[in-house]
Chain A
Amino acid sequence: MTALEASGTGTGPATDAKASVAGSTPVTPAAYNPRRDRRRKWLEIVIFVGPALLLFLVFVIFPMIMAARYSLYKWDSRQPFELAEFIGFDNYTRALMGGTDPETKEIFWKAYAQPFWNAVGNNAQIIALSMLVQLPIAMIIALVLNRKFPGRSSVRLIIFAPYVLSEVVAGLMWLMLLDPRGPVTEMLAAIGISDPAGGWLEDPQAGFWTFFFIVSWKYIGLAIILFLAGLSGVPPELQEAASIDGASWWQVQWRINIPLIGPTVRVWAFLSIIGSIQLFDMAWVLNKGGSTGQYSTIATLMVDIGTQRNDGGYASALAIIMFIFSMVAAITYMTIVMRRDNGARAGKGA
């Protein structure tokens, strides 16, 4: 895989890396005073790591901790936060199960837990559909395009282009194209596909699928390009040998190409899962997650509650829940799936 070599994570160099770290001390000229050397070393480390670490702690870690703190408070929009009332995990139970008070449970379920689980369901569906729909389609396209043909590099370039567009701009574009009397609606009507009763995006049922289509339009290029990059790393000798043995095109793909780009697929799947959990810009620009939340995500629900409804404590609880989902997904994925790939590469993450 070209990317591997370019970013220097290939098997060979990484092994060197470990050796270099371990062997760095003896390399230092003997003329150095060891104690002064050590102090100097720490000074250098602080100078090098310091700015980044400071920025990271102040602008990433600290706000995260504050979000966790806010999530434990009843955030009265009429009062500054300093006067807010500590309510423990009430914001969390409100989201997860409609609170703990039996008297208000029913209406809280309807008002808070239902939209929350609806959003979680949308996130989960997008993850599942990415694996079940985007992955096979991207794989087939990548396999078919993995050969020489006229205009190959232009085709690759074009397929990947939506990825670099901002979600805002792409979202606005589709909003216009999918207007009830817009071009897509008219064109599809011309070939006999009528739009859903509520319109493409706002129909309570169909809206989610339209949204998934738009997300796929924007992101499937990434999968295709990553897969193509992976395929370029498959040793051609293997494929040639199989062809000579009489294997059909499909057999070559099934037995050689697809298994060999497994690591690439897993990397893409990881990116896709994390991205799906954190999906925001696109859903927000289209219509803040949809008028009935048909394509709302945890993030849109959070920003909606936080900015439009002024309930910062509850919004923070949603933020933390989203973070926990991302973390669980990442850790699970890294320990179960990616470890297999990394095992082969000595020195990784040393």
Chain B
Amino acid sequence: MANMRRLGAFAAFTTSAALLLAACSSGDGETTDPTDSPTNGEAEQSAEPVTLTWWHNAVAGDNGENALGDYWQTVADAYTAENPHVTIEIEQVQNEDLQRTRIPLALQSGDAPDLFQAWGGGELASQVESGYVQDLSETLADDIERLGGGVSPWQHEGSTYGLPFTFGVEGIWYRESLFEEAGITEEPATMDELNAAVQALKDADITPIAVGAADGWPAAHWWYNFALRSCSQDVMAAAGVDRDFSDPCWVQAGEQLEEFLGTEPFQDQFISTVAQTGATSSAGLVASGDAAMELMGQWNVFVYEGFTDGTDEGIAALQDDLGWFPMPATDGGNGDPSAALGGGDGFSCYVDAPPECADFLSFIVSDANQMEFTEATGALPVAPAAADAVTNPVLVELAQVAGNAEYVQLWLDTSFGTNVGGAMNDGIVSIFAGTGEAQDVVDLMTAAALTE
């Protein structure tokens, strides 16, 4: 359908039959020059120039530095050096805009980038069902096998529609010096221990936990973790597929959250606090030592670093004082206490993208490039062969937890897709704000699922 639309647009705006034909044959008429289909298979691609458009979320960060973005540029340069007929046009877009606005609209409009950021799960599944995404199962079979289980969020009904380049689990980041100050000697392993730690920190006049509830999702992740502990793996997996939230464990998750909120573990005005902007954001509070803990994914080490003065000593001092432990186990509940929530970033190819797209994606996640990726950005790679390149001790620990987890559940909002996920996050924020109840979250999710 998207093709029809674009075709219509061309018909209206070009009188040249040649152009019209080009638009039909190349599939991505506006940006890709017409390419003859490769005659000798994939290895020997036609020398006709091809332009790949690539949208990723690596925007310049806090001090104007953009390690990941710079790295992507070098990858693109390396690829185009090997394949001179390919030009890669990169557009970097801030994550929320990219995921929530730009990519969905671009896909619907039929004028989408060839290679674009994909977070896997329900969102990718709906894109697949709409026919927007290329099936890479056969073309990239070797890479899929090499990367292993981390690929599963990018798979749908047995086929693979994208590859991750980084994957990690979330847990609680904390400042070791503040724990020491409050006399906490052990990383909390159960909710009781976490509650005790919260109390100890309060007694020492330290804000126990920071949360950026104004952004919604940071608050929602607390609920996700309670749900992970109270719902069995089967219930969890089934919910991702048929969106059935009738199991009482979903309401229990909210009740556990309410109970936890009752202990007032979070900073003042957490509902007005954003996650990453400014010194008063939740990340800013932890980075400046105003708050002791924050529940966040593996990326947050980089966010914290953004609040240092940017010098090597400053970053080293922060990393030295930064600890991490997995989300504590709750009492009761059918969830596995070692299960972890996680997610990653990957890329998918648009359905009409030229074959060079898959080839380039394979290049991105090659063992050598995964290694370089880790060295350049410090982030966790997916390729097992690149694991040794991880140097940050917290990330090493995090990778171990991920490896030992009974199973890794993809972020629930990503897993359930935009609509149900959005309703879920809205409901959870209401619990945080004190205007909603545990049952509301489930009702909102159920209602959203019914509209699909």
B-contacting residues of A (Cβ < 8 Å)?
Answer: 74, 76-80, 82-83, 94, 104, 106-108, 110-112, 176, 179-182, 195, 197-204, 287, 291-292, 307-311, 314
* Closest chain A CB from B281 CB (angstroms): 9
Does B440 contact A311, Cβ atoms closer than 8 Å? no
Give chain A residues whose Cβ lies under 8 Å from the Cβ of B130.
Answer: 77-80
Complex CA gap A103/B156 in Å reads: 32
Q: Which residue of A has the minimal Cβ distance to B125?
A: A78
CB 8 Å contact bits of B1-14 with A (1 = contact, 0 = none): 11000000000000
Q: Which residue of B has the minimal Cβ distance to A75?
A: B451
Give chain A residues whose Cβ lies under 8 Å from the Cβ of B216.
Answer: 291
Q: Which residue of A has the minimal Cβ distance to B423?
A: A111
Q: Which of B108, B214, B418 contacts A202 (CB 8 A)?
A: B214
Does B444 contact A291, Cβ atoms closer than 8 Å? no
* Closest chain B CB from A308 CB (angstroms): 5
Does B17 interact with chain A (Cβ within 8 Å)?
no
Complex CA gap A181/B280 in Å reads: 7
Please tell me which stretch of B43-51, B264-272, B366-374, B389-397 contacts chain A, meaning at least 4 of its Cβ atoms lie within 8 angstroms of it.
B264-272
Please tell me which stretch of B77-85, B305-313, B427-435 contacts chain A, meaning at least 4 of its Cβ atoms lie within 8 angstroms of it.
B427-435
Give chain A residues whose Cβ lies under 8 Å from the Cβ of B126.
Answer: 77-78, 310
Complex CA gap A104/B450 in Å reads: 9
List 28 A-B pairs, Cβ < 8 Å: A77-B104, A77-B130, A77-B452, A80-B2, A80-B130, A82-B1, A94-B451, A104-B447, A104-B450, A107-B443, A107-B447, A108-B447, A108-B450, A111-B423, A111-B444, A111-B448, A181-B279, A199-B272, A202-B214, A203-B272, A291-B214, A292-B271, A292-B430, A307-B101, A309-B418, A310-B126, A311-B419, A314-B451
* Closest chain B CB from A106 CB (angstroms): 8
Task: A107-B447, A308-B418 given; name 16 further pairs at CB < 8 Å.
Answer: A77-B419, A78-B126, A94-B451, A107-B443, A107-B450, A110-B440, A110-B447, A176-B278, A179-B272, A180-B273, A199-B269, A202-B269, A292-B435, A292-B436, A309-B422, A310-B419
* Closest chain B CB from A54 CB (angstroms): 14
Give chain A residues whose Cβ lies under 8 Å from the Cβ of B429.
Answer: 291-292
A-contacting residues of B (Cβ < 8 Å)?
Answer: 1-2, 100-101, 104-105, 108, 126-127, 129-130, 213-214, 216, 268-269, 271-273, 278-280, 417-419, 422-423, 429-430, 432-436, 440, 443-444, 446-448, 450-452
Complex CA gap A258/B444 in Å reads: 50
The 10 closest A-B pairs by CB, nearest first: A199-B272, A111-B447, A199-B269, A202-B272, A80-B1, A78-B126, A107-B443, A180-B269, A78-B129, A198-B271
* Closest chain A CB from B279 CB (angstroms): 8
Does B278 contact A291, Cβ atoms closer than 8 Å? no
Does A76 contact B271, Cβ atoms closer than 8 Å? no
Interface centre among B129, B430, B435, B436 (most CB of A within 10 A): B435
Q: Which residue of B has the minimal Cβ distance to A82?
A: B1
Complex CA gap A180/B433 in Å reads: 15
A-B contact count (CB 8 A): 112
Q: Which residue of A has the minimal Cβ distance to B448?
A: A111
Q: Which residue of A has the minimal Cβ distance to B279?
A: A181
Does B269 contact A195, Cβ atoms closer than 8 Å? yes
Complex CA gap A107/B450 in Å reads: 10
Give chain A residues whose Cβ lies under 8 Å from the Cβ of B417.
Answer: 77
Complex CA gap A287/B216 in Å reads: 10
Complex CA gap A277/B108 in Å reads: 29
Does A182 contact B280, Cβ atoms closer than 8 Å? yes
Give chain A residues whose Cβ lies under 8 Å from the Cβ of B434.
Answer: 204
Does B280 contact A311, Cβ atoms closer than 8 Å? no
Q: Which of B271, B432, B443 contacts A111 (CB 8 A)?
A: B443
Q: Which of B104, B272, B440, B452 contacts A76 (CB 8 A)?
A: B452
Complex CA gap A78/B435 in Å reads: 32
* Closest chain A CB from B291 CB (angstroms): 12
Does B423 contact A309, Cβ atoms closer than 8 Å? yes
Q: Which residue of A has the minimal Cβ distance to B128?
A: A78
Give chain A residues whose Cβ lies under 8 Å from the Cβ of B432.
Answer: 291
Q: Which of A77, A104, A200 contacts B272 (CB 8 A)?
A: A200
Give chain B residues whose Cβ lies under 8 Å from the Cβ of A292.
Answer: 271, 429-430, 433, 435-436
Does A107 contact B418, Cβ atoms closer than 8 Å? no
Complex CA gap A189/B443 in Å reads: 40
Give chain B residues whose Cβ lies under 8 Å from the Cβ of A307.
Answer: 100-101, 104-105
Contact flag A291-B423 (CB < 8 Å), given A78-B129, A82-B1? no
Complex CA gap A82/B272 in Å reads: 41
* Closest chain A CB from B385 CB (angstroms): 36
Does A77 contact B418, Cβ atoms closer than 8 Å? yes
Complex CA gap A327/B105 in Å reads: 29
Contact flag A80-B271 (CB < 8 Å), given A182-B280, A309-B418, A309-B448? no
Does B272 contact A180, Cβ atoms closer than 8 Å? yes
Complex CA gap A194/B435 in Å reads: 22
Q: Which residue of B has the minimal Cβ distance to A91?
A: B451
Does A291 contact B433, Cβ atoms closer than 8 Å? yes
Give chain B residues whose Cβ lies under 8 Å from the Cβ of A204.
Answer: 271, 433-435
Complex CA gap A200/B273 in Å reads: 11
* Closest chain B CB from A119 CB (angstroms): 13
Contact flag A79-B129 (CB < 8 Å), given A111-B443, A179-B278, A292-B430? yes
